[in-house]
Amino acid sequence: MSGSSRLDHARGFRQKVRSPDEVCEKPYVPMLTGVLDDCLCDIESIDDFNTFKIFPKIQKLQERDYFRYYKVNLKRPCPFWADDGHCSIKDCHVEPCPESKIPVGIKAGSSNKYSKAANNSKELEDCEQANKLGAVNSTLSNQSKEAFIDWARYDDSQDHFCELDDERSPDAQYVDLLLNPERYTGYKGPSAWRVWNSIYEENCFKPRSVYRPLNPLAPSRGGDDGESFYTWLEGLCLEKRVFYKLISGLHASINLHLCANYLLEETWGKPRWGPNVKEFTRRFDPTETKGEGPRRLKNLYFLYLIELRALSKVAPYFERAVVDLYTGNGHEDAESKALLLDIFRDTKSFHMHFDEKSMFAGDKKGAKSLKEEFRLHFKNISRIMDCVGCDKCRLWGKLQTQGLGTALKILFSEKEIQSLPENSPSKGFQLTRQEIVALVNAFGRLSTSIKELQNFKILLQQTR
């Protein structure tokens, strides 16, 4: 076996020997196999687990009222460079949800009935904090309500992995995620490239002397094909390798969504959306991407494992009676929570989870400093999402980034989650409704990506 063949085999993907005509004319899908790097889980197990257990249930959960309405501010200015102007393509547009369509229990102020007048600023602040708690049923006792206010005040003061939108801002609007699906909008070019370039070049712990594969700004290095980049990456500590893989996996997942939900044609104003095999091949074929496509797809699986682990770890938080997915519709709320808990049981049954305890495990001072650096880099990426010029791309970028940030928050809060009180809120750990919605929908997007990858494999086999 040649050196390059052994390297391909170790990376876990096989390439069938093809004739020159096949290379030129027939698209090819990388056959991802084997164990992922930095964890003890194989791709085939994830495929089966996602297809038969997770995907059908997470799809149903995302259709529930509690999870389909997401409040987001799409008008926040880009904090890093002058605004390029918003995309004028019609498919970039996001249609906000009329206030009348929002379930009564989700609207701010309707899930906690505080009727006493606020005579001073502290009482007004307390009322506003109470109004923000959209996940809390109005049947809570006064003592519990006061505890939730303290809980919210604590949450406002703690450090997050994401730059959270102020839901009280007049620019924040509810969006029905089912009516604004993530798909290819036509948004591309320098503006879109600058967003991802800024994420990779300035926030992934990479020195400027090291160039990513396929970076058009990289100097010509002959037959390197990115090997120097991966030599550098493997020399990093686990935490920084994980960070890069999470971002690369998120990027791959988003690209998969765009390929799977592509505008194929538009006749008499009626668009037809569907999978675009040619676009998928351009983005992920090993020949088209100089071997980079399979690596990106493996990072998608790695990201799936991270968020799957977070769901299994946060289950005790939702298993408590005090946490209610409150919309005002008691029957649907009970069904939604039952379905969510069913998904948690499935996540716990998975036997090859990523072990987050291997991260930040060095000396306490160094580990704390690295963890803070990790958090700040990711928080910066969440801010870059406000620089995306396409509103629909910005919506889904912000949601999936916040979902991943929430997953990281969960993984690094194990002690706080284990010590949660059964019948009252905890000041040590809490999730806002916005974080819960983002967490579930972000994982739903990853589950969909892996399912779509299976669909593309079938489509590509049919074209051979």
Percent of the chain residues past pLDDT 90, beyond the cut: 55
Q: Name the β-bridge partners of 172.
A: 73
- Beta carbons of 386 and 78 less than 8 angstroms apart: yes
Of residues 144, 178, 139, 142, the one with CA closest to residue 328: 139
Q: pLDDT tens digits, residue range 60-77?
A: 999 999 999 999 999 999
Q: What are phi and psi of 426, to 5 degrees?
A: -110, 140
Over residues 261-272, mean pLDDT: 87
User: Domain map of the chain by residue range?
Assistant: 43-105+196-207+226-463
Helix 55-62 / helix 433-463 crossing angle, nearest 10 deg: 130
CA–CA gap between residue 337 and residue 317 (Å, rounded): 12
Tens digit of pLDDT for each residue in 216-264? 766 665 556 678 899 999 999 999 999 999 999 999 999 999 999 999 9
Q: Is 78 a catalytic residue?
A: no
At residue 130, does pLDDT exceed 90? no
Q: Taking 50 as the threshold, does the pLDDT of residue 25 lie above it?
A: no
Annotated binding residues for FAD: 183, 185, 196, 248, 251, 283
Distance between CA atoms of residues 443 and 161, nearest Å? 17
The yes-or-no answer on residue 393 being catalytic is yes
Task: Give the pLDDT confidence of 148-184 residue by residue, as tens digits.
Answer: 454 444 444 455 788 778 888 888 999 999 999 999 8
More confident residue, 121 or 312: 312
Binding residues: 183, 185, 196, 248, 251, 283
Which residue among the candidates 87, 127, 204, 390 is catalytic per the annotation? 390
Q: What is the spatial distance between Cα 459 and Cα 464, in angstroms, rounded to a whole number?
A: 9
Give the predicted TM-score (pTM) of the model. Answer: 0.83
Q: Are 203 and 385 in contact (CB under 8 A)?
A: no
Q: Which helix (H) or strand (E) holds 145?
A: helix 142-157
Q: Which of 41, 87, 259, 393 is catalytic?
A: 393
Q: In the predicted model, is pLDDT for residue 121 greater than 60?
A: no
For the stretch 337-347, pLDDT in tens is: 999 999 999 99
